């Protein structure tokens, strides 16, 4: 039996860089380096492990991104980790698309690619919404098995462990399904030199909105379901008091807490 895995990966601005808004209140992508979202590396890793465990040889891992031209870098990284092929949805009309729109585009691209299992990261490191996997499950009409710290595929069943707020639960669903994995699911591998070389020859398919039968008006800034009216830089915190501990640091700190009425 073949197993077609589609991994959704996002190209994000480096969180350790200086992230800003552009004049139209979308993310300014010019001033800061982009990369494959670190949280999506965990998704690629689990896809590769599941494909590796698959007893038939015909498991295939496709990485999929919706993003600007530079998002190819994220696909290359995932291919060099070991994914088989990539799909890049790229269209000028996508600029400013919000979560509802992105989920629409991803769902259409996943259907067009063909899938038994979709694997996402737990959240993107820029938007940090953590909603896309649930939206994809809703749009594709297949089970969501999300926020897993452990995942495995056994025949036609996906199993996993979800560490929730109130309880840890073990989950099971039949394929096809949408999974998301957390950063507790296991360290992602580094691309090997061989992997980096091999990635250069792997196919990257480019799709635009026309290929996916999506109207430009349903996505992008104009088609968005939400609008950002203002973005203000948080004022830098006023410099605090910093003291060296000369033996009474704890007592002095207690005085500060008293002055602030915490004690």
Partner 1 sequence: MAEVLVYVDHVDGAVRKPTLELLTLARRLGDPVAVSLGAGAADTAAKLAEHGAVKVLTADAPEFADYLVVPKVDALQAAYESVSPAAVLVPSSAEGKEIAARLAVRIGSGLITDAIDLQAGDQGPVATQSVFAAAYTTNSRVTKGTPVITVKPNAAPVEPAAAAGTVEALAVTFGEAATGTKVVDRTPRESTGRPELTEAAIVVSGGRGVNGAENFAIIEALADSLGAAVGASRAAVDAGWYPHSNQVGQTGKSVSPQLYIASGISGAIQHRAGMQTSKTIVAINKDAEAPIFDLVDYGVVGDLFQVVPQLTEAIKARKG
Ligand X SMILES: Nc1ncnc2c1ncn2[C@@H]1O[C@H](COP(=O)(O)O)[C@@H](O)[C@H]1O
Ligand Y SMILES: Cc1cc2nc3c(=O)[nH]c(=O)nc-3n(C[C@H](O)[C@H](O)[C@H](O)COP(=O)(O)OP(=O)(O)OC[C@H]3O[C@@H](n4cnc5c(N)ncnc54)[C@H](O)[C@@H]3O)c2cc1C
Instruction: Give residues 28-87 in contact with ligand Y (rule: CB under 6 A).
Output: 38-39
Do 133 and 180 contact (CB within 8 A), yes or no?
A: yes
Do 82 and 197 contact (CB within 8 A), yes or no?
A: no
Min CB(17)–ligand X separation in Å: 19
Give the single-character DSSP code of 52.
H
Mapped onto helix, strand or coil, the DSSP state of residue 38 is: helix
Min CB(239)–partner 1 separation in Å: 9
Nearer to ligand Y, 38 or 211 (CB): 38
- Residue 34: exposure state from Cβ atoms within 10 A (0-12, 13-18, ≥19): buried
Nearer to ligand X, 96 or 133 (CB): 133
Selected range binding ligand X among 115-123, 183-191, 207-215, 229-237, rule: CB under 6 A: 115-123
With CB under 5 to 8 Å by kind, the binding choice for 67 among ligand Y, ligand X, partner 1, none is: ligand X
- Residue 229: exposure state from Cβ atoms within 10 A (0-12, 13-18, ≥19): exposed
CA 78 to CA 91: how far, in whole Å? 21
Give the single-character DSSP code of 27.
B
With CB under 5 to 8 Å by kind, the binding choice for 30 among partner 1, ligand X, ligand Y, none is: none
CA 84 to CA 157: how far, in whole Å? 23
Q: Which two tokens stand for residue 168?
A: 């840890």
With CB under 5 to 8 Å by kind, the binding choice for 120 among ligand Y, ligand X, partner 1, none is: ligand X
Determine, following the binding rule CB under 6 A, whether residue 101 of this chain makes contact with ligand X: no
Min CB(261)–ligand X separation in Å: 38
Q: Which residue is nearest to ligand Y (CB)?
A: 38
Mapped onto helix, strand or coil, the DSSP state of residue 166 is: coil
Min CB(237)–ligand X separation in Å: 27
Min CB(247)–ligand X separation in Å: 47
CA distances from residue 120 to 13, 83, 243 in whole angstroms, order as listed: 18, 14, 45
Please select the residue that binds ligand X; options are 36, 40, 79, 108, rule is CB under 6 A: 40
Nearer to partner 1, 196 or 224 (CB): 224
Strand 177-181 relative to strand 144-154, pairing: parallel
CA 189 to CA 167: how far, in whole Å? 30
Selected range binding ligand X among 20-28, 38-46, 51-59, 227-235, rule: CB under 6 A: 38-46
Nearest to 43 by CA among 65, 63, 16: 63
Residues forming the site for ligand Y (CB under 6 A): 38-39, 125, 183
Residues forming the site for ligand X (CB under 6 A): 8-10, 37, 39-40, 43, 64-67, 99, 102, 106, 120-121, 123-124, 127-133
């Amino acid at each position: 039996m073949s197993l077609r895995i589609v991994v959704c990966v996002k190209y994000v601005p480096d969180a350790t860089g200086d992230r800003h808004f552009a004049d139209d209140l979308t993310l300014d992508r010019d001033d800061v380096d982009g990369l494959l979202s670190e949280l999506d590396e965990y998704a690629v890793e689990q896809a590769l492990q599941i494909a590796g465990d698959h007893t038939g040889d015909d498991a295939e891992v496709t990485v999929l991104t919706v993003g600007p031209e530079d998002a190819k870098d994220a696909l290359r990284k995932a291919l060099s980790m070991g994914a088989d092929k990539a799909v890049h949805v790229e269209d000028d009309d996508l600029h400013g698309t919000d979560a509802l729109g992105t989920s629409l585009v991803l769902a259409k691209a996943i259907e067009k690619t063909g899938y038994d299992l979709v694997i996402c990261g737990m959240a993107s490191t820029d938007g940090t919404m953590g909603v896309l996997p649930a939206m994809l499950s809703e749009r594709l009409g297949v089970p969501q098995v999300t926020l897993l710290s452990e995942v495995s595929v056994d025949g036609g069943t996906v199993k996993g462990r979800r560490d929730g707020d109130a309880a840890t639960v073990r989950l099971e669903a039949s394929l096809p399904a949408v999974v998301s994995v957390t950063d507790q699911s296991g360290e992602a591998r580094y691309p090997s030199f061989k992997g980096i070389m091999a990635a250069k020859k792997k196919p990257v398919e480019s799709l635009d909105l026309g290929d996916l039968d999506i109207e430009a008006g349903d996505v992008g800034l104009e088609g968005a379901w939400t609008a950002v009216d203002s973005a203000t830089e948080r004022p830098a915190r006023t410099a605090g008091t910093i003291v060296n501990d000369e033996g009474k640091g704890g007592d002095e700190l207690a005085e500060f807490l008293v002055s602030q009425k915490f004690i």
